[in-house]
Amino acid sequence: MTMLNFFSPIVALLLQEAPRTRFDLMREAAANPDLSKFLVIGALLFIIGVAGVLTRRNIIVIFMSIELILNAANLNFIAFPRYLYETGSVNAAAGQIFTVFVIVVAAAEAAIGLGIVIALYRNKETIWVDEIDLLKW
Amino acid sequence: MTLSGYEALFFWIFGLAAIFAGLLTVMARNAVHSALFLISSLVSVAALFILARAEFIAGVQILVYVGGVMVLFLFVIMLVNVGAEERGREEIFNNQRQVTASLIFCLLLVGGVLYSVNQGYRGLQALHPTTPELAAAQQATREQSLPTSGTGSSKLTHDSQGLGGVLFRYASLPFEIASVLLLVAIIGSVMLARTLRQEASADDVDPEALREEIARDPEFAKLEPKSE
């Protein structure tokens, strides 16, 4: 009997619910991704695109990084209308039409930009941006 | 908006795929590999659009970006490819100091953006408090009220319909302007990509540029417009 008295607090300690740690909270948040996770992925894609524009030498890859940046903005334009729809705002789809226009402008920009790249390649014989220094003197 | 169950799993799969494909786009040595990684990043983002219930935008993204813009990119890569970067002779990044400065700038940007997203979302949560269970229950009741599809195995949503309504009710003028923008883009890219030979045969050549070209290569002399 004395033995049981000795062990019972230990058993009680083992059986009690563990306090919610930071790790538990993170696991719960990962199991239920919400608006902020969409925004974080959009932000990371945006910054990868900015890094590509700033560091690459190939002008075509710089254009691709710009597409990545525009796409990250589109992700935000899609995530917010969804959130606003669930909080019961009127005209929740209004955010999605911005995405349509961003895609239109991105397509036009790609066509013009690649036309410029071809004209530049004909005149300068290079696609490296540090060799395209027509404005330098 | 709170995803749960399989949607959460697919969200993480496609989100991480988008980010890693984006990283590889920036870091690939060969420009064709960059383009292929960019395609996979765009497709992953389209999957995220579907998870955020924007099916129409996801379809547009795949048709326009993957079907149109990326094919254009691949054509241009093959037109201007110098082939030097695959052989490993050329440096693909700018010089050391520029790369260091821009990476420091990007790290600052990461910190600032993640901090502000965190703070801002905390404020939004205080405004509209919700729990995952509550959100799932709301989602279930919303799906109950939707009509079933012809096979009876799924539900039909009104999302594309709502997008079309909003587009033509509130944004019909920007829609028309976008069509003019696309026309300008078509004309501009045709103008920019013309060669001197094509310009001369269309009788639209700058005489001074042609004279310079003839000085460099006498072959071009036969392109000179005949003056009566």
- Pick the last residue of a domain from B103, B124, B144: B103
- Pick the last residue of a domain from B103, B129, B157: B103
Instruction: Give the nearest chain A residue to B193 (CA atoms).
Output: A115
Most confident range, picked from A4-18, A64-78, B70-84: A64-78
pLDDT score, position B63: 94
With CB atoms and an 8 Å threshold, state whether A36 touches B118.
Answer: yes
Q: What is the pLDDT of residues A37-84, one digit of tens each?
A: 999 999 999 999 999 999 998 899 999 999 999 999 999 999 988 888
Helices (H), A22-93: 22-31, 35-55, 59-86
Contact call for residues A96 and A90 (beta carbons, < 8 A): no
With CB atoms and an 8 Å threshold, state whether A41 touches B48.
Answer: yes
Which residues in chain B touch residue A115, judged by CB atoms under 8 angstroms apart?
188-193
- Pick the last residue of a domain from B77, B103, B129: B103
Q: Are B15 and B99 members of one domain?
A: yes
Contact call for residues B146 and B155 (beta carbons, < 8 A): yes
pLDDT score, position B84: 57
Number of domains in chain B: 2
Q: Calculate ∠ Cα A121-A127-A129, nearest 5°.
A: 120
CA distance B228 to chain A (A): 32
Which of B32, B80, B199 to mutate to test binding with chain A, by most A CBs within 10 Å of its CB?
Answer: B80
pLDDT-derived band at B226, boundaries 50, 70, 90: low
With CB atoms and an 8 Å threshold, state whether B57 touches A96.
Answer: yes
With CB atoms and an 8 Å threshold, state whether A32 touches B106.
Answer: no
Domain assignment present for residue A49? The answer is yes
Number of domains in chain A: 1
Q: Is B193's Cβ below 8 Å from some Cβ in A?
A: yes
Cα–Cα nearest to B189, from A75, A71, A113: A113
Cα–Cα nearest to B208, from B224, B197, B192: B224
The ipTM, to two decimals, is: 0.85
Show the tokens assigned to B189. Answer: 């890219």
CA distance B225 to chain A (A): 22
Q: Which domain holds residue A110?
A: 33-131
CA distance A15 to chain B (A): 26
Q: Which domain holds residue B97?
A: 1-103
Domain assignment present for residue A117? The answer is yes
CA distance A27 to chain B (A): 12
CATH number, domain of B45, equals: 1.20.120.1200
Q: What is the pLDDT of residues B34-61, one digit of tens each?
A: 999 999 999 999 999 999 888 899 999 9
pLDDT-derived band at B205, boundaries 50, 70, 90: confident
Q: What is the pLDDT of residues A95-110, one digit of tens each?
A: 889 999 999 999 999 9
Q: Are B84 and B180 members of one domain?
A: no
Which residues in chain A touch residue B61, judged by CB atoms under 8 angstroms apart?
71, 74, 103
Percentage of chain B beyond pLDDT 70 is 93
With CB atoms and an 8 Å threshold, state whether B128 touches A106.
Answer: no
Query: Which candidate from B18, B132, B135 shows the least CB-CB separation from A45?
Result: B18
CA distance A24 to chain B (A): 15
C-alpha torsion B5→B6→B8→B14, nearest 10: 170
Domain assignment present for residue A27? The answer is no
